[in-house]
Structure 1
Amino acid sequence: MHLLDIDQLRTFVAIADTGSFTRAADVVHKTQSAVSMQMKRLEERVGRAIFERDGRLSKLTDEGERLLDYARRIVRLNTECMASFNDNELVGRVRLGLPDDYADRYLPEILARFSRSNPKAEVTVMCEPTHNLIERVQHGDIDLAIITHVDRRGPSEIVRIEQLLWVTSARHSVHEETPIPLALGRPNCDWRHSATEALESADRPFRILYVAWHSTAVGAAILAGLAVSVLPESAVRPGMRILGPSDGFPALPSCKIGLIRSRREENPLADALGFHIKQSLDNLGATRPLLAPAAE
């Protein structure tokens, strides 16, 4: 029986996560040709084709999907094993802030990646609105924060861009009411401003029926068929229906997600967590069946 090469498996996981041979090469610090050669040798080791062509693109075969599950576990276990013998690993506490809706969608992946690499580090998480988080970072109360980027609030490192979408219940027709009942955030919420400005520009009457700090409450109003709201693409849940121009709802702008850090002192733990945040948010996607061709 052939033994699997962990370096090849790590590259395979990077391809699946990034959706591209070329981007995976950057992640694993190899040339594109080296990545392609590794995948050829991995296929030879397992005795199965793990990629198949779909026009100019490639996608994982059924065997490739099965291998991916094993590859993730093997790579994770290898990382944990090596970390247990690393006397130079980072220790201490790092403070992270983010809005609650970002915590719900992004935090599991971020914490999983970070804790595997830094098992002795303590992460303190604060969930607050973006404008509060900016102040906390400026005052040194937290080390870094994931925020909704708006130019007027100052610079941030953009780590993800998503489309804002109109959403309603898939089982109700509340979006056909006039005026349109809305469930939105507080008056200083940027998504709320985008929604109301779009409806005003389209001359669609509306009324704000529910106001909430937390996305869970907004989601409850949507799923109950009580109101229409706006959410980023990754926040759309089962039971929700996306509305568009054919339904009378104008297009919305994109949502930029930024990362800001306290610069009061050097913090290797904050740098490490920031790296994992960028990797996690860049790798997230609704589906990853198609991969860019090796020669893109």
Structure 2
Amino acid sequence: MATMLDLDQLRTFVAIADSGSFTRAAETVHKTQSAVSMQMRRLEERIGKPIFGRDGRSAKLTEDGERLLGYARRMVRLSDETMAAFDDDELSGRVRLGTPDDYADRFLPEILARFSRSNPRVEVTVVCEPTVQLIECLREGGLDLGIITNIKGTPMTEVVRQEPLLWVVSNHHQLEQDDVLPLALGRDTCCWRKSAIEALSPIGRRYRILYSSNNSTAVSAAVLAGLAISVMPESALRPGMRVLGEADGFPRLPPCEIGLVRAWNKPSNPIVDALAEHIVSSLDNLSMQIAAE
């Protein structure tokens, strides 16, 4: 008789793979760490192969573990979709989410994947605009929820993540040695641009804004090509970028605060509430992944 896989064990396995830690996975699946460890031993017995190779405090997948992960995700997702299909109380409708494109690139894949699995009947409309425009749309009711860069004075903002704002340059160039720093920054309304300029002015460091764009991909391209220095949050760093610090003559920048904002003067909505919960959960998970690296 063929060995049957346990869906609860697979769900725990996926949680470990996503968080990189047995301890954090135990919190996610609401089990003790010893129960999680026992589940994984039994799963390895069922598979007949080791799926984890211990590396310090994190749990790294073996080659067989990586192979199992794809099947496990599909089985857990199908189970969730099946249960949702027979849930008469399942949410349905539409929600409008706004976010700058740099946050969309980094955060939306996990947020939307999680939300869609739990709420397959909800249509999510995503609008990518700079924070200032998103705040205006939320004020006018054109959006239901926004992931924004927190700006002082913006009402009803819940700060859901904070990370360092960093000076970055190409790995293969020493632009920090130029007499006049070439910069690639956002447009005039960008608060990161304002932070960069305000930090350089008191120390008398000369600069020129060589590239200006609200598109994070364009700014990153200028940095990676060795054309300019920029500022960006820690989670936006890409391979090929190098961080410049105080030892390089660059002042410390204020942290980047990521806020969650709901539309003004709108009644509570269960769909918006559900999406907000998934956003907070996904950003918490990202924080754990960065801490584990």
SS at match of 1:183: strand
Q: Structure 1 residue 68 and structure 2 residue 59: aligned?
A: no
User: Alpha carbons of 1:201 and 1:35: their partners in 2 closer, same or farther (altered >3 Å)?
Assistant: farther
Equivalent-residue separation in structure 1 for 2:209 and 2:269 (angstroms): 43
CA contact (8 A) 2:244 2:250 kept: yes
* Structure 1, unaligned runs of 5 or more: 292-296
Secondary structure of the residue that 1:153 maps to in structure 2? Answer: coil
1:260 paired residue number: 261
Match of 1:280 in 2: 282
Equivalent-residue separation in structure 2 for 1:75 and 1:183 (angstroms): 43
- 1: distance between equivalents of 2:292 and 2:68? 16
**Cα distance in 2 for residues equivalent to 1:49 and 1:284:** 26
Contact kept in structure 2, 1:174 and 1:180, CA below 8 Å: yes
**Runs of 5+ in structure 2 lacking a partner?**
none
Letter in 1 for 2:280: K
The separation in 2 between residues aligned to 1:210 and 1:287, in whole angstroms, is 32
* CA distances 1:225-267 after superposition (whole Å, capped 9, x unpaired): 2211111122223343332334332333321211111351121
TM-score by length of 1: 0.86
Q: Deviations over 1:77-126 (max 9, x none)?
A: 22223333334321111010111111122222222222222222111111
Alignment partner, residue 13 of structure 1: 14
Q: Comparing 28-37 with 188-197, which one deviates more in the overlay?
A: 28-37
Distance 1:34 1:156, change over 3 A: farther
Moved more, 90-99 or 63-72: 63-72
Offset from partner CA, 1:160-193 (integer Å, 9 cap, x none) = 2222221223343333211101111123322112
Alignment of 1:47-196 (within 5 A): 47-55=48-56, 57-62=57-62, 63-196=64-197
Amino acid at match of 2:167: W
SS in 2 for 1:216: helix
Quote the Cα distance in structure 2 between the aligned partners of 1:193 and 1:289.
Answer: 28
Equivalences for 1:203-222 in 2 at 5 Å? Answer: 203-222=204-223
Distance 2:47 2:267 in 1: 49
- Secondary structure of the 2:167 match is strand
TM-score calculated relative to the size of structure 2 = 0.86
Distance 2:215 2:172 in 1: 23
Q: Give the SS at the match of 2:3.
A: coil
How many percent identity over aligned positions?
Answer: 63
Q: 38-47 vs 5-14, which deviates more? A: 38-47
Q: Distance in 1 between matches of 2:175 and 2:288?
A: 26
Aligned length: 290
What's 1:229 paired with? 230
SS of the residue 1:114 aligns to: helix
CA contact (8 A) 1:90 1:269 kept: yes
Q: Please, what is the CA RMSD of the aligned residues? A: 2.6
